[in-house]
Amino acid sequence: MTISFNDFNISKEIIDAIGEMGFEEPSPIQAGAIPLVLQGIDVIGQAQTGTGKTAAFGIPILERIDSKSKNVQAMILCPTRELSIQVAEEISKLGKFLKGVKVVPIYGGQPIERQIRALKQGTQIVVGTPGRIIDHIKRKTLKTDNIKIFVLDEADEMFDMGFREDIEMIIGRLPEEKQMTFFSATMAKEIMNFAKTYQSEPEIIRVVKKEMTVPKVDQYYFDLDPHMKTEILARVLDIYNPNLTIVFCNTKRMVDELTSKLKDRGYLAEALHGDLKQNQRDFVMNKFRKLSTDILVATDVAARGIDVDEVDMVVNYDMPQDDEYYVHRIGRTARAGREGTAISFVSGKEYYKLRDIQKYTKSIIARKEIPTLGDIRKNESTKLLNILTENINKEENKKYEPIINVLLEENYNPIDIASVCISLYMNEKGVGNHEELDYIDNDKKRPVRKQRQARPKERFKKGKWKRVFINIGRIDGVSERHILSAILQNNKLHKNDVGSIDIYDKYSFVDINAKRTNEVVKDLNKIRIRGRKIKSEIAKSSSKSGRRK
Ligand code: ADP
Ligand code: MG
- DSSP for 97-152, written as a single string: TSTT--EEEE-TTS-HHHHHHHHHT--SEEEE-HHHHHHHHHHTSS--TT--EEEE
User: Which residue intervals of 27-105 are DSSP H helices?
Assistant: 28-38, 53-64, 81-94
Residue 488 CA neighbour count, 13 Å, CB half: 24
Q: How far apart are CA 54 and CA 21, in angstroms?
A: 14
CA 154 to ligand 2 center in whole angstroms? 6
Query: 54 C-alpha vs ligand 1 centroid, how far in Å?
Result: 7
Whose C-alpha lies nearest to ligand 1, atom 5? 52
Specify the residue with its C-alpha closest to ligand 1, atom 20. Answer: 52
Pocket of ligand 1 (CB under 6 A): 23-24, 26-27, 30, 47, 49-55, 90, 250-251, 321
CB atoms near residue 188 (< 10 Å) = 13
Ligand 1 center to 27 CA (angstroms):
8
- Alpha-carbon dihedral angle through residues 536, 538, 544, 545, given to the nearest 10 degrees: 20
- Which ligand is nearest to the Cα of residue 55, counting in written order? 1
- C-beta of residue 220 within 8 angstroms of C-beta of residue 364: no
Residue 542: half-sphere exposure toward Cβ, Cα within 13 Å: 13
State the pLDDT at residue 477.
Answer: 76
Mutational test site, ligand 1, from 2, 48, 54, max ligand atoms within 8 Å of CB: 54
Residue whose Cα lies nearest atom 15 of ligand 1: it is 52
Among the bound ligands, name the one nearest to the CA of residue 27.
Answer: 1
pLDDT of residue 209: 66
Element containing residue 459 per DSSP (H, E): helix 458-461
Could you give the residue ranges of the DSSP H alpha helices within 265-400?
Answer: 278-289, 300-303, 323-330, 350-361, 373-391
What is the rounded distance in angstroms from the CA atom of residue 281 to the CA atom of residue 285?
6
Per-residue pLDDT of the chain (549 residues; tens, 9 = 90+): 578 999 999 999 999 999 999 898 899 999 999 999 999 999 999 988 778 999 999 999 999 999 999 999 999 999 999 899 999 999 999 999 999 999 999 999 888 999 999 999 999 999 999 999 999 999 999 999 999 999 999 999 899 889 999 999 999 999 999 999 999 988 888 889 999 999 999 999 998 666 566 778 889 999 999 999 999 999 999 888 888 999 999 999 999 999 999 988 878 899 999 899 888 988 999 888 887 788 999 999 888 777 788 898 999 999 998 888 999 899 888 877 778 999 999 998 889 899 989 888 888 898 999 988 888 777 777 778 878 888 888 888 888 889 999 999 888 888 889 989 888 887 765 443 333 333 333 333 333 333 444 333 334 444 578 899 998 888 777 778 778 888 887 667 777 888 888 888 788 999 998 888 988 999 888 887 777 788 898 887 544 444 333
CA-closest residue to ligand 1 atom 1: 50
Three-state helix/strand/coil letters over 496-507: HHEEEEEECCCC
Q: Produce one character per residue of 217-249: b if its CB has 16 or more CB atoms within 10 Å, e if not.
A: bebebbbbeeeebbbbbbbbbbbbbbebbbbbb
The pLDDT assigned to 1 comes to 58
Question: Would you give the DSSP letter of residue 260?
Answer: H
Q: Which of 6, 48, 10, 7 is nearest to 28 (CA)?
A: 48
For ligand 2, the distance from its centroid to the CA atom of residue 127, given in whole angstroms, is 12
- Ligand 1, atom 22, lies closest to the CA of 23
CB of 387 within 8 A of CB of 454? no
pLDDT in tens, 48-102: 877 899 999 999 999 999 999 999 999 999 999 989 999 999 999 999 999 999 9
Using the mean position of ligand 2's atoms as its centre, give its distance from the Cα of residue 330 in Å: 26
Ligand nearest to the CA of 356: 1
| Pure H helices in 246-372 | 252-264, 278-289, 300-303, 323-330, 350-361
Ligand 1 atom with the smallest distance to the CA of 58 is 6
Instruction: Return the residue whose CA atom lies nearest to atom 12 of ligand 1.
Output: 52
Give per-residue burial for 33-50: e unless 16+ CB within 10 Å, then b. Answer: bbbbbbeebbbbbbbbeb
- Residue of the nearest CA to atom 10 in ligand 1? 50
Instruction: Report d(CA 118, CA 234) in Å as an integer.
Output: 45
What contacts 467, CB < 8 A, 6 or more positions away? 509, 510, 511, 512, 538, 539, 541, 542, 543, 545, 547
Q: Which of 5, 20, 23 to mutate to test the pocket of ligand 1 (most atoms within 8 A of CB)?
A: 23
